[in-house]
Amino acid sequence: MGGVGKYSGLTLNQDKATKPQTVQIVRNRFTWCFSTLENRFL
pLDDT for the residue numbered 11: 56
In this prediction the pTM is 0.41
Would residue 30 count as lying in a domain? yes
Domain span holding position 37: 15-42
Distance of CA 41 to the CA centre of its chain: 23
Q: What is the DSSP string of the chain?
A: -THHHHHHTS-HHHHHHHHHHHHHHHHHHHHHHHHHHHHHH-
pLDDT of residue 37: 83
Distance of CA 1 to the CA centre of its chain: 9
Is residue 6 in a domain?
no
Q: What is the pLDDT of residues 1-42, one digit of tens each?
A: 444 445 455 555 666 666 777 888 888 888 988 888 888 876
Residue 5 domain flag: no
Q: Residue 41's pLDDT is what?
A: 74
**CB distance 24 to 31 below 8 Å:** no
Confirm whether 27 is domain-assigned: yes
CB neighbours of 3 closer than 8 A, spacing ≥ 6? 25
Number of domains in the chain: 1
State the pLDDT at residue 1: 45
